[in-house]
A and B are shown apart, each in its own frame.
Chain A
């Protein structure tokens, strides 16, 4: 890197919603500093960069690449491999890249069921010939290709080696800015970088640490959907029966959602030391159900507990909302699952 050359920044979106890009822009006037400090060499969202531009760069050309979005199809995978080659530091930016996030919820179904719903059987489609996207289509001019749609959505680190993770859906702007400052400090001033594989821009414990609500002992005799209850603004939401993933979610966002009366959804992923966020949430929640005790008859006890569990309509979707790709099982068994 020459004296006058600025460090190179890239940001790419794979299977994503665009929220991460907006969150980067949400660092407000700090974006000017980013522009000042970095040379943006590949950022399809904001400027017209082409893949061939990227291909033309030498390996390791990009100092830091913020890769958001999950790996849904072969194009996402190709770009992941390409950007890995071309980048010194690759950050899995946002929950999609980190752990699958919403795109990975399609792992609860199958490719066939998805295609059926999207292209064949839904009220707003008229496709009598049953045309489905093909990877390769012969036309007069030659062959047209489309990316192959993967059966299972993968996280970025299930595809390539990742240097850092920045969790969140999206990551909070103040956290993004904090991470960028660390990177800038390392690149420009030679400060040490965090250890490889570190999760940046977030805490290590659970959201409860940041949440201002009063926490008491937990005994829950039923759960409520958010619309069913007007929660007390001061008491822990979970204690009131609203499923708040905060107990099993990494801190760093400032407990934004609970502070406005919505249960945390878990978008920062699990805290340190937890392998499977959904399983830990399940375990914690089930442990504090207060339905009966050992003095009851076995059948009655089971019925009472089941009645409480029945007030959780969609455990898999709720507990694995963001972390499906990183979960232990990762996807539904082939041929089964909710369509």
Chain B
């Protein structure tokens, strides 16, 4: 209803401070005039102008005035609140009043720096100051919200990122739950043969860490497990974990491997083996698996198909096989969560003209990693798809699915380096082979990376600068018969080029996991267009997210190599350790709340919150905001059709008051008669 009944407001005592900021403001805006003018507002007790409000003297001025003049609100007209809101709020608090009874008018960035017109700048400054005064009068004291931090941490994903973070935290004495989807930790790094640029054996540097994880008492390792539900907020998460049935009793299994040996069913190894070799229906992904217990693949097991076989059960010396084992649901409580869920390789089948999946001798990068690995299906021999023939020529195609408007626009960062690594490995395994790298740019920015490229130049690799248009088996002349032909540009020669080749390796890009969007929704944080998890700030906060208490590390945040992954994992662990150390955190009170006794239960707001902070009470038929989850955006406040959602520090009353203050010089004169 109209506020025609003007209830006279009790006047506040606002202290107004107009900052000169040297000549930054005072050079354009008549600060004395503004200060004098502000005194006209009946709520203003004192109005000053001063050279540098953010200095100690300036801040002390505020504190002194509060104490001596009994000020109840403070307005500082100076730079952007993004610069000094914190500074002046603290000064206000030291003066003895609640820091949220303070407001700033941005007359520098939005005023004196943005125009040369002195009169206009001064007029605008008056408007901004008036807006701040009218607003601050309606502001209410707010208190930060203390939240206790549960010292346990959940780490999702047992690749190198998850392993590093888990060890950092566990070795500092903190309890860690490490949840991994596969039967063993290790992730993609376990599939890799050698790592660039040092050509360290990947498994050799990874497996000791895996063993450390398995043996550390502070780490509860939950493999072959999935996260089903996450509730709560920073310091107080409750997570539902489904430990899927491996069909064996872990306490009895000695990892002897007999079950695997005796299993008659061979399945193409799609996961660890990248589809190149075989595994059994009861299997460990690789011999150094941690934990060492196998997993029974119910979908491919003869017993689950027709009740027969049971070879593993028969031969198991400790009777550890249990076919009727059920999934186990665990509810764990943690204070912080680190997501280290890794990446998927871009599926090159999406580029039909490259022939992956159709032409037998076109291989993906992970297939090649398994092939060239000494404990892989070919025992480390580089051979064609027939498993026998050595190629005489190998081409490595860069940027498959990357830097491409049709697939992923971004650069996948690591592919140039691993393409060079492949070139080197081919040279090493087959010294007489001719090796081509088809590239667009050579991106080798890391430590020792450019030098590695140089080495490959010396090893006689042929580098063709040009996008590969097509890989085909249709020859145009006798020289091309029986070969794969790479049709590409050669931009340095300025020509098209057809290169007959025996074997092609496709350097596909890293991309977000196929289910990253669901995962991000499960954890109530964001992921970008491309599916990678969104960091809080791309420069200054790469491992935290917009959701307090949830951190990210490794390739799930964006394509990166192992050193960066390890660095991020350490960073995330450090941030978690900081919170554990603090024990309690203070959360910003700028949040929304619903006046439940006035809520009609229309449920308009329920679906609006990206943080799932709004729930509906089915009994009372009202909606409710979970304070700790609310991030304070105000979307629900604006949407509520009965205005029963209050947005603390950005209430309708406050914004409307600021609005009217801003428009002081164009507002209608106050009416005496109702109108």
Chain A interface (Cβ < 8 Å from any Cβ of B) = 157-161, 165, 196-197, 199, 204-209, 215-219, 236, 246-248, 251, 270-275, 280-281, 283-284, 287-288, 294-295, 326
Secondary structure type dominating chain A contacts: loop
**A218–B641 touching, CB < 8 Å:** no
Question: Contact string, B649-675, partner A, CB cutoff 8 A, digits 1/0?
Answer: 000100000000000000000000011
23 examples of A-B residue contacts, CB within 8 angstroms: A157-B4, A158-B675, A196-B5, A199-B1, A205-B598, A206-B600, A206-B642, A217-B606, A218-B604, A236-B603, A246-B602, A247-B600, A247-B642, A270-B642, A275-B652, A280-B640, A280-B642, A280-B643, A281-B641, A284-B602, A287-B604, A295-B529, A326-B1
- Pick the contact of A218 from B598, B607, B642 — CB < 8 Å? B607
CB contacts (< 8 Å) of B2 on chain A: these are: 157-158, 326
CB contacts (< 8 Å) of A251 on chain B: these are: 600
B234 to chain A, nearest CB (A): 25
A196-B5, A205-B598 as given contacts; A274 in contact with B643, CB under 8 Å? yes
CB contacts (< 8 Å) of A246 on chain B: these are: 602
**A158–B643 touching, CB < 8 Å:** no
CA distance A219 to B2 in the complex (A): 32
Interface size for B (C-beta < 8 A) is 27
A288 to chain B, nearest CB (A): 6
CB contacts (< 8 Å) of B675 on chain A: these are: 158
CA distance A334 to B381 in the complex (A): 85
Please name the 8 residue pairs, one residue from A and one from B, whose CB atoms are nearest each other, closest first: A206-B600, A248-B641, A287-B639, A284-B641, A208-B602, A271-B642, A209-B600, A208-B600
**A197–B1 touching, CB < 8 Å:** yes
**B602–A157 touching, CB < 8 Å:** no
- Whether B320 sits at the interface, judged by CB under 8 Å, is no
**A217–B603 touching, CB < 8 Å:** yes
Chain B interface (Cβ < 8 Å from any Cβ of A) = 1-2, 4-5, 529, 598-604, 606-608, 621, 635, 638-644, 652, 674-675
**A165–B1 touching, CB < 8 Å:** yes
CB contacts (< 8 Å) of B599 on chain A: these are: 205
CA distance A303 to B642 in the complex (A): 29
**B602–A247 touching, CB < 8 Å:** yes
CA distance A280 to B601 in the complex (A): 16
CA distance A281 to B652 in the complex (A): 16
CA distance A271 to B599 in the complex (A): 10
**B639–A284 touching, CB < 8 Å:** yes
Q: Across the interface, name the chain A residue whose C-beta is closest to B531.
A: A295
**B600–A205 touching, CB < 8 Å:** yes
CB contacts (< 8 Å) of A275 on chain B: these are: 652
CA distance A288 to B635 in the complex (A): 11
**A247–B598 touching, CB < 8 Å:** no
A214 to chain B, nearest CB (A): 10
CA distance A82 to B305 in the complex (A): 92
CA distance A283 to B602 in the complex (A): 14
CA distance A158 to B673 in the complex (A): 8
CB contacts (< 8 Å) of A272 on chain B: these are: 598, 642
A260 to chain B, nearest CB (A): 19
B302 to chain A, nearest CB (A): 44
A23 to chain B, nearest CB (A): 21
B623 to chain A, nearest CB (A): 10
Q: Across the interface, name the chain B residue whose C-beta is closest to A209.
A: B600
Q: Across the interface, name the chain B residue whose C-beta is closest to A272.
A: B598
CB contacts (< 8 Å) of B606 on chain A: these are: 217-218
**A207–B5 touching, CB < 8 Å:** no
Q: Across the interface, name the chain B residue whose C-beta is closest to A197.
A: B5
CB contacts (< 8 Å) of A274 on chain B: these are: 641-643
B529 to chain A, nearest CB (A): 6
- Among A160, A199, A283, max chain B CB count under 10 A is at A283
**B608–A287 touching, CB < 8 Å:** yes
A218 to chain B, nearest CB (A): 6
CA distance A124 to B606 in the complex (A): 52
A271-B643, A284-B640, A284-B641 as given contacts; A160 in contact with B674, CB under 8 Å? yes
- Pick the contact of A283 from B529, B603, B641 — CB < 8 Å? B641
A184 to chain B, nearest CB (A): 25
CA distance A161 to B675 in the complex (A): 10
- Pick the contact of B642 from A158, A205, A294 — CB < 8 Å? A205
**B641–A158 touching, CB < 8 Å:** no
**A273–B602 touching, CB < 8 Å:** no
Q: Across the interface, name the chain A residue whose C-beta is closest to B614.
A: A217
A205 to chain B, nearest CB (A): 4
A99 to chain B, nearest CB (A): 9
Q: A218-B606, A288-B607 are in contact. List 16 more A-B contacts (CB 8 A).
A: A157-B674, A158-B674, A161-B674, A205-B599, A206-B641, A208-B601, A209-B600, A217-B607, A271-B643, A272-B598, A273-B643, A273-B644, A283-B638, A287-B608, A288-B608, A326-B1
B344 to chain A, nearest CB (A): 18
Q: Across the interface, name the chain A residue whose C-beta is closest to B604.
A: A284
CB contacts (< 8 Å) of B607 on chain A: these are: 217-219, 288
CA distance A216 to B621 in the complex (A): 11
**A287–B638 touching, CB < 8 Å:** yes
Q: Across the interface, name the chain A residue whose C-beta is closest to B639.
A: A287
**A215–B641 touching, CB < 8 Å:** no
B511 to chain A, nearest CB (A): 15
Q: Across the interface, name the chain A residue whose C-beta is closest to B675.
A: A158
CB contacts (< 8 Å) of A294 on chain B: these are: 529
CA distance A75 to B599 in the complex (A): 41
Q: Across the interface, name the chain B residue whose C-beta is closest to A250.
A: B642
CA distance A196 to B643 in the complex (A): 22
**B602–A206 touching, CB < 8 Å:** yes
CB contacts (< 8 Å) of A159 on chain B: these are: 674
CB contacts (< 8 Å) of B603 on chain A: these are: 215-218, 236
A59 to chain B, nearest CB (A): 19
CA distance A206 to B604 in the complex (A): 12
- Among A197, A208, A294, A326, max chain B CB count under 10 A is at A208
B213 to chain A, nearest CB (A): 36
B633 to chain A, nearest CB (A): 12
CA distance A248 to B638 in the complex (A): 13
CB contacts (< 8 Å) of A199 on chain B: these are: 1
CB contacts (< 8 Å) of A208 on chain B: these are: 600-602
CB contacts (< 8 Å) of B635 on chain A: these are: 287
A24 to chain B, nearest CB (A): 23
CA distance A274 to B607 in the complex (A): 22
B374 to chain A, nearest CB (A): 43
**B4–A209 touching, CB < 8 Å:** no
CA distance A274 to B642 in the complex (A): 6
CA distance A159 to B673 in the complex (A): 8
CA distance A222 to B372 in the complex (A): 57
CB contacts (< 8 Å) of B601 on chain A: these are: 208-209, 215
- Among A205, A219, A326, max chain B CB count under 10 A is at A205
B654 to chain A, nearest CB (A): 14
- Pick the contact of A207 from B1, B600, B644 — CB < 8 Å? B600
A154 to chain B, nearest CB (A): 8
CB contacts (< 8 Å) of B621 on chain A: these are: 209, 215
- Among B2, B641, B644, B675, max chain A CB count under 10 A is at B641
**B639–A271 touching, CB < 8 Å:** no
CB contacts (< 8 Å) of A248 on chain B: these are: 641-642
CA distance A281 to B638 in the complex (A): 11
B92 to chain A, nearest CB (A): 29
CA distance A272 to B640 in the complex (A): 12
CA distance A240 to B542 in the complex (A): 43
Q: Across the interface, name the chain A residue whose C-beta is closest to B642.
A: A271
B208 to chain A, nearest CB (A): 42
CB contacts (< 8 Å) of B643 on chain A: these are: 271, 273-274, 280
CB contacts (< 8 Å) of B1 on chain A: these are: 165, 197, 199, 326
CA distance A236 to B621 in the complex (A): 14
